Chain A
C-alpha cells in the first residue's frame, strides 16, 4: 500500500462542510467538518496522509507554522501591489 502526504487548505466553511483546496493541483473537495480535526477555520493548512490516492482525513494534522508563513508572504505581496494604487477616483 503506497502512502503519501498532501497539503490541503480550508478555502471556506459552508455550514457543516469545509471546502478544501489541494496545494499541488488546486483540486477542490467538500468534506464534512465532523471528519476533520477540531479548530478548523478559513485558511487552516492541513497535512493529510493519502493511501492509494485517497485522503485519510482522520490523519489530518494542522500546520499552523505554514499557515502563518503564507499569510506573511501574502501580506508582503499585497503591500507591493498596494504601492501601485494611484488613489482616488478612476476613469477607465
Chain B
C-alpha cells in the first residue's frame, strides 16, 4: 500500500466514488430503500451481523457455505438473537479480550450451542465472568483452543487472518484485543474488539491494516479507538459502532467526526438495532436493517490487484534503480524456511546489506515481493554503514536490525521470486531476482 496524505488517499480511492451516500450516523436522518437483497452475480454472499447487545460486542459471521463464527458474545447471553438467526452450531468462537462486555455471554453460548473452535488472546483476568468461562472451557474437552497468533482460518470460501498481538506485558486488555481481517474476495471486514491507539498504531506500523469494506469501530466508538493513520490505511466504506446506554460517553463525538469524515455510512446498534451486511466476492455489499436494504456498495478491485497495479505503475514510471545508491545496496532472500514454510514464516527472510560509508535513513522505504506483499520500514529505521537489516516474514519485536512483516504465512516463493526495495518516494533502489 502506498501511503500519501489523508486527503490524497481519499481522492485516489475510487471506491469513494462508488460508495453509497446515505448518512446514517444520527437518528432522524433519512433511510432509503435501495433494492432487494439476495444472490449477486458472484454467488451467495457472506453475512456479517452486528447483534444489538447493548454496550457490548457480538458479531456473527456466516460464510456462503454456512460455516459460522461468533466474535465476542456480549455481556448477557445473545442466545435469543442467535436462535432467531437460526444458529445451531458455531465453528469458531472468538473472545477478543476478557472484558465482561465481550465474554459475558460466552459460557452460556458454549453450554447451549455446539462449538468447534475457541480463540482468545491468552491473557488472564480475575473476574468471576472470566473464571466461569475458563471452567466451562476446561470441562468442554471437545472444543479445540486456538491461540490468537498470526494464522489463517478458512471459513468456507472466506478467510480470516489473525493479526499479531502487541507484545505480552506491554499493555492492558483493550490493547491486546484479537484483530481479525475477514476476507471474502474483495469484501473485507476488520474486527478488533476494543483496540486502542497503541494496538492500532502497532498494526499500522506492521503494515497489516488493509483497505476494508467494513470496520467495526474499535472500543465502541471511544475517542481512543481510532487514529488517523489507521483510518487512512483502512479507508472503510461502512463503519458499525456496537454501542448501548453507558455512563462513559461512547461513542465520543471525536470518533463520530472521524468516521463520518471517512464515509457517510456509519451505523450504531443503539439507534439502528441489529445491522447485517451482505458481502459479495466482487466487493459489492448491502447494508440491511431488518429486511430493508439501506446502503449498497459497488464491486471493487482486490487489495492485491490494486497493489499489483500500483507497483507495476511504479516500475513503469521510474528509473529501474536510483543512481545515488545503485550498486551500494545488496538484497538477498532466503526463501526456503525449515519445515513447512507457512508454519514457520520467520524461517524465511530478506537481507538488505549496505556497501555505503555512511548510515542510510530507510524510514518509509518498503520491500515487496512479486505479488506485492510489502513491508514498510518504520519512520526511524536506519541501515548502518556497512551493516545489514533483516526482514523476517512472520511476527516479532523490531530491534532496529531485525524487522518483521507480521504475516502469518510464507511470502517468498521457493521456486523463484523478485524482491524490490523502494525508497520513500517510491523509487526503486534495489532489486533481487532469484529462480
Binding site for B on A (CB under 8 A): 9, 11-12, 14-17, 19, 21-24, 26, 28, 30, 42-45, 67, 70-71, 73-75, 77-78, 80-82, 84-92
Contact = CB atoms under 8 A, between A and B. Distances in A.
Given A88-B342, A91-B154, A28 B145 contact: no
Contact of A82 (B131, B138, B147, B172): B147
Contact of B100 (A19, A45, A71, A81): A19
A90 B154 contact: yes
A78 B124 contact: yes
Contacts of B145: 81-82, 84-85
Contacts of A43: 125-127
B124 A75 contact: yes
B122 interface: yes
Nearest to B99: A12
B155 interface: yes
B154 A89 contact: yes
Given A74-B125, A85-B147, A90-B153, 16 more contacts: A14-B248, A15-B249, A21-B127, A26-B104, A43-B125, A67-B126, A74-B126, A77-B137, A78-B124, A81-B118, A85-B144, A90-B151, A90-B154, A91-B153, A92-B67, A92-B154
A77 B133 CA distance: 10
Contacts, number: 121
A44 to B, nearest CB: 8
Interface string B93-121: 00000011100100000000000111000
Task: Rank and list the top 7 A-B pairs by shortest CB-CB distance, nearest first.
Answer: A74-B124, A91-B154, A14-B248, A81-B145, A70-B126, A77-B134, A84-B145
Contacts of B130: 74
Contact of B128 (A23, A71, A81): A23
Contacts of B117: 90, 92
A44 B99 CA distance: 13
A42 B146 contact: no
Nearest to B68: A92
B153 A11 contact: no
15 contacts: A11-B129, A14-B248, A21-B128, A24-B128, A26-B132, A70-B131, A81-B145, A82-B147, A84-B144, A88-B342, A89-B152, A89-B153, A91-B153, A91-B154, A92-B67
Contact of A92 (B92, B129, B250): B92
A15 B250 CA distance: 11
Contacts of B250: 14
B227 interface: no
Contacts of A75: 124
Contacts of A70: 124, 126, 131
Contact of B173 (A21, A42, A67, A81): A42
Contacts of B153: 89-92
B68 to A, nearest CB: 9
Interface size bracket, B side: 35 or more
B34 interface: no
Q: Residue among B69, B99, B125 with the most chain A CB within 10 A?
A: B125
B217 to A, nearest CB: 15
A92 B155 contact: yes
Given A81-B137, A84-B144, A11 B124 contact: no
A82 B75 CA distance: 25
A15 B248 contact: yes
A45 B131 CA distance: 13
A47 to B, nearest CB: 13
Contacts of A23: 128
A11 B92 CA distance: 25
A26 B129 contact: yes
Contacts of A26: 100, 104, 127-129, 132
A78 B122 CA distance: 7
B408 interface: yes
Q: Residue among A21, A67, A87 with the most chain B CB within 10 A?
A: A21
Contacts of A15: 248-249
A77 B218 CA distance: 28
Nearest to B150: A89
Given A17-B247, A26-B132, A87 B127 contact: no
Contacts of A81: 118, 134, 137-138, 145
Contacts of B122: 78, 82
Contacts of B135: 77
Nearest to A41: B172
B354 interface: no
A77 B138 contact: yes
Contacts of B69: 92
A80 to B, nearest CB: 6
B129 A21 contact: yes
Contact of A85 (B92, B129, B146, B408): B146
B420 interface: no
